[in-house]
Amino acid sequence: MMARTLGTQAIPPTPRNEANDPTSLVARFGADQPLHLDCGVALSPLTIAYQTYGALNADKSNAVLICHALTGDQHVANVNPVTGKNGWWETMIGPGKPIDTDRFFVICSNVLASCLGTTGPASLLVDGGAPYALDFPVVTVRDMVRAQAMLVDHLGIDTLFCVAGGSMGGMQVLQWAASYPERVFCAMPIATAAKHSAQNIAFHEVGRQAIMADPDWRGGRYLAEGVRPEKGLAVARMAAHITYLSEPALHRKFGRKLQDRAAPTFSFDADFEIESYLRYQGRSFVERFDANSYLYLTRAMDYFDLAADYDGKLAGAFRGARTRFCVVSFTSDWLFPTSDSRAVVHALNASGASVSFVEIETDKGHDAFLLDVPELFATTKGFIDSAARARGLVEAARG
C-alpha cells in the first residue's frame, strides 16, 4: 500500500533559504532601507538573490529585467545549482538568443517571499532564531516589484531597457509599467492578466488547503519542528500542474496510455501514464520548494488586480506611459486565456500607449511561454530589436 501514497522517500527538512545557493549574487538591505509593504509592514532586513548575464553598457541603457513565475527562480540562463537543470528560459536568453546577452545586461532576481535566496517565510526572523513561517507579512505583486526596484537602484540603473516575464512574471511586468512608467522603456507581459480570475483563485485555494490540511504543516511552523508538509505540497503542485497544460497537450502526451502494462490493474496504483507523471511532478516539486512560500506567492497572485489601484479603471494604470508594450498570449492557455491579454491591450490602447499584441497558435497551454515555441522567439526578437533601435542601442557586429 505504500506505493499508493506520495512522498515516501526521505527528504531532508532543510529550509531553502539564502544559505542553500552559494552561486547567486545577493543584495542586502539593512534596517536603514526597509521595504515598505502594501500591508503596512516595513520589512527589514531584506536579502535579494539574483543573477546577471552580459555586460552593462557605459550609459546603463541596456538592462533587461526578467521576472519569474510562481515557482521560478533567478537562474534564468544558467544551470540551477540546486536541481542541476538548465536555466528555465535558456531558449530565450543567452548569446545570440532573442534576448541576446551579447547586447543586453540581463538581470533576474528571486521574488520576495520565495525560498530560493530572497527573503521569505523560510528565512530566519532573527539570526540564529526560527524561520518567520506565518509571521512573514503577506506580500503583493506590487511589493515584489518594489523589491526589484531596490535591486535596480542598488545596481545603479535608472531606466530598464526592458522588463519581460510570463504568468506571475507578466503580472510583475504590468506592475512595473504602472508603478515606474518612466523607468521601463519597453515591456513584454506574456500569458498573464491584469487581475487574477475567480477560477484561478479557486485553484490556488485548493492548493493552499491541501498544504494546510497536511498535519506536518504544523500551523506553518514545520521548519522549526523539523518536518515538512510534503504530501500536501505535492497535491497542491499536482492540481496546479494540470492547469499549466492544455487538454490537447495532455491527450497528445499521455492519452489513456497505461503505464508499463497491457491491461488495467484494477487497483489504485498509477495505471495511467498521466498518473505517474503527476505523482512525479508532485514528488520532485517538494524537493525544491517551500510550502509556506507557495502559500504566500499564490496569495500575492490572488490579490493582483491592477485596476483596483486606479478606481477600477485599468487604463488609469498606464496613463501617460511612454513604455512600448508587446503583449503575448497562447490560444490553448486556459489559465490566462487570450481574453485576459486582450483586456490589457484594450486598456493600453485606451491610455494611448504603444502596443502590439500577438496571440500565438499552440496546443501547449499556459506552459508554452517556457517551451520551444518558435513564434514566441521570433516575436520577442522582433520586438526587442525594434525597441533597441528606437532606444539607440546599436546591434553588436557578429562575425
Residues that bind a copy of itself (CB under 8 A): 1, 4-7, 38-39, 134, 137-138, 195-199, 201-203, 205-206, 208-210, 212-215, 219-220, 231-232, 234-235, 238-239, 242, 245, 247, 250-251, 253-256, 264, 266-268, 270-272, 274-275, 278-279, 282, 295, 299, 302-303, 305, 334, 337
Which of 167, 246, 329, 341 does the annotation list as catalytic? 167
CA dist 210 and 199 (Å) reads 17
Tell me the closest approach of the beta carbon of residue 110 to a copy of itself, in angstroms.
21
Tell me the closest approach of the beta carbon of residue 252 to a copy of itself, in angstroms.
9
Tell me the closest approach of the beta carbon of residue 101 to a copy of itself, in angstroms.
37
- Find where cell 546603463 sits: 60
Dihedral over Cα of 208, 13, 75, 119: its sign: positive
Binding residues: 237, 367
Asked about 167 being catalytic, the answer comes back as yes
Instruction: Annotate 208-232 with b (16+ C-beta within 10 A) or e (fewer).
Output: bebbeebebbbebebbeeeebbbbb
Bridge-based pairing state of the strands 46-53 and 105-109:
antiparallel
Asked about 341 being catalytic, the answer comes back as no
Question: Contact 301/335 with Cβ under 8 angstroms?
Answer: no
In the complex with a copy of itself, which residue's Cβ is closer, 139 or 370? 139
Tell me the closest approach of the beta carbon of residue 284 to a copy of itself, in angstroms.
15
CA dist 94 and 341 (Å) reads 27
Question: Contact 318/351 with Cβ under 8 angstroms?
Answer: yes
Taking alpha carbons only, the member of 113, 118, 119 closest to residue 50 is 118
In the complex with a copy of itself, which residue's Cβ is closer, 295 or 393? 295
Cα dihedral 77, 80, 86, 87, rounded to 10, equals -30
Question: Contact 161/186 with Cβ under 8 angstroms?
Answer: yes
Tell me the closest approach of the beta carbon of residue 26 to a copy of itself, in angstroms.
27
Tell me the closest approach of the beta carbon of residue 293 to a copy of itself, in angstroms.
13
Taking alpha carbons only, the member of 83, 103, 81 closest to residue 93 is 103
In the complex with a copy of itself, which residue's Cβ is closer, 117 or 282? 282
Q: Which three cell numbers stand for residue 226?
A: 523539523
Which of 214, 271, 333, 340 does the annotation list as catalytic? 333
Tell me the closest approach of the beta carbon of residue 129 to a copy of itself, in angstroms.
20
Binding residues for substrate: 237, 367
User: What is the set of active-site residues?
Assistant: 167, 333, 366
